[in-house]
Amino acid sequence: MDKQNKEVTIDNKEIIKVTASGWLGTAMEFMDFQLYSLAAAIVFNEIFFDNEDPSMALIMAMGTYGAGYCARLLGAWFFGRLGDRIGRRDVLFFTIALMGIASTGIGFLPTYAQVGILAPIGLVILRIIQGFGAGAEISGAGIMTVEFAKKESRGFVGSFVCLGTSTGTLIANGIWTIILTHCTHAQLLTWGWRIPFYASFVVMIAAILIRLFIKESPVMAQKKKELAQLREELAEQAEKDPSNKENEEQALKKAEHTNFKSSMKNFVLAGGLRFGQAGNSGLMQTYLAAFLVTYLSVARTVPTDANMIASIISFFTIPFVGWLGDKFGRRTMYLILSGAMAIFAIPMMLLISTRNTLLITIAMIIGLNVGVQDLFALENIMIPELFGSLHRMTFSSLAKEIAGLFATGFGPVIAASLVGMALGSWWPLALMMIFFSAVTFISAWLSPNTNNRDLNDLNDPVIDRHGKKRHFNETNETV
């Protein structure tokens, strides 16, 4: 099949709308993520579980947090496949609605004191619904943006979608800080904890309204055109060779299946690239708040304040890292950031163990930017570049969510268990951060630099549909 892919000229206004849509969707996801993670760390162990054993209640609260990541995996598969078939835009309406409705619903749940075991059951059900919608939301929003952006500025433009992480985290932490500052403990347990979840509804409506006015990705139009051309060629071949028992649809499915198999290597690499950012996020944005309050007796506002400051700073670091990725290569920046986080893990926990508010804040700001936010600025661009347009949304979503399930979903539970066995010591957290970062470093080392990738190509950039390795020249163009 003739593959003379040409970049489609996109109106800058359309790029702005798509970027704003992705930004709000990502803000919604990370707002929900942070609202739930802080609630799980600060109050859910008292509200939704029998708190006779505080350590066990905290572990169970982290467990319900992980349940959502199991659902995200199903959502990634379901909505990813749907997005590759019917288009990104339509699927993103469903994902944002599920997330917003489920998150808002958590605010209406009765407590353990009111209904007993039904309270955590309701929490898990809504968390599963929320996770199912989130499974392809952030991947789909990122893919939409990079498929609209120009090749030479893909990282910089795509980074503005990643600012949704800072926006969502900032809003969630801001709300929690206000509540924790102005509510007594009794008020917090009675009604204060519900307010943050009601706020999700506002963001959901804003995201849906913007998505009403955006167009479908130009890559999807090119993909449908190429597949139609492939069908025509297969039909012509069938007419020339009537003895061939395979019809064109069977041959097309076979070609797609071959492409599916050829993407396995990139799938593993994509999961590794996600693993470090997801694992560090789960530890620093979820469990660390509980660790500070439970074991170090630090004020509950300290981790929320640190998250807010880190989010504000990331408004500058995320676009800068996106620009650096365009200039020097996303693979190079991945190696620098993941390596730096692995080195910083022990000094970070030593600073935190001093119980000094200023040192804790500085340590968390550096860790959150280097090991979470800035890696995400690279991840959201490079992972879609690792796959051809035929299965891009499916593979990107699944790779992210499988890595997220093990790293972010189970990470806080494992951390809570290890720290409990270590009698409240910080070293299990440092070792986990080093492990997460090392996996990403190795994955980046084994990955190609995808900056010059043509996203209209049906095939992935390392192995083509026929299983043959593709080679790259010095400018990373296939030869």
pLDDT of residue 351: 96
Q: Within its chain, how far is the Cα of 30 from the centroid?
A: 9
Instruction: Fill in the amino acid letter for 89.
Output: R
C-alpha 298/C-alpha 180 separation (Å) is 14
Q: Give the closest residue to 131 by CA, choosing from 32, 49, 61, 60.
A: 32
C-alpha 370/C-alpha 314 separation (Å) is 9
Contact between 235 and 248 (Cβ < 8 Å): yes
Q: Give the closest residue to 68 by CA, choosing from 117, 123, 28.
A: 123
DSSP-assigned beta bridge partners for residue 472? 478
- Per DSSP, the residues of 164-215 read HHHHHHHHHHHHHHHHHHHS-HHHHHHTGGGHHHHTHHHHHHHHHHHHTT-P
C-alpha 98/C-alpha 86 separation (Å) is 19
Full-model pTM: 0.80
C-alpha 204/C-alpha 96 separation (Å) is 6
Contact between 248 and 233 (Cβ < 8 Å): no
Q: Which pairs with CB-CB distance under 8 Å and at least 24 residues apart come from 118-123?
A: 119/47, 119/48, 120/48, 120/49, 120/60, 120/64, 123/44, 123/48, 123/64
- Please check the confidence at residue 263 and state whether its pLDDT lies above 90: no
pLDDT of residue 201: 86
Question: Helix (H, G, I), strand (E, B), or coil: what is residue 212?
Answer: coil
C-alpha 446/C-alpha 452 separation (Å) is 17
C-alpha 162/C-alpha 383 separation (Å) is 13
Q: What is the pLDDT of residues 438-479, one digit of tens each?
A: 999 999 999 988 898 888 887 777 543 333 445 443 344 444
Count other C-beta atoms under 10 Å from residue 299's C-beta.
12
**pLDDT band at residue 51 under the 50/70/90 scheme:** low
pLDDT of residue 466: 39
- Please check the confidence at residue 53 and state whether its pLDDT lies above 60: no
Q: What is the pLDDT of residues 421-434, one digit of tens each?
A: 998 899 999 999 99
Distance of CA 43 to CAs 28, 67, 100, 341, Å?
21, 18, 21, 30
- Please check the confidence at residue 34 and state whether its pLDDT lies above 60: yes
Task: Flag the least confident range among 46-55, 276-285, 396-405.
Answer: 46-55
Q: For the chain, what is the largest distance between any 2 Cα atoms, rounded to a whole number of angstroms?
A: 80
pLDDT of residue 59: 57
C-alpha 335/C-alpha 421 separation (Å) is 33
Q: Which two tokens stand for residue 225?
A: 């055109």
Domains of the chain: 12-223+250-446 (1.20.1250.20)
Helix (H) / strand (E) containing 475? none
Cα Rg, the chain, nearest whole Å = 23
Q: What is the DSSP letter of 458?
A: S
**pLDDT band at residue 383 under the 50/70/90 scheme:** very high
pLDDT of residue 221: 72
Contact between 133 and 95 (Cβ < 8 Å): yes
Averaged pLDDT, 393-401: 91
C-alpha 270/C-alpha 164 separation (Å) is 21
In the chain, helix, strand, coil percent, each to 5? Answer: 80, 0, 20
Q: What is the pLDDT of residues 182-235, one digit of tens each?
A: 888 788 888 888 888 888 888 888 888 888 878 778 887 777 677 666 666 656
Contact between 236 and 229 (Cβ < 8 Å): no
Q: Give the closest residue to 149 by CA, choosing from 266, 22, 36.
A: 22
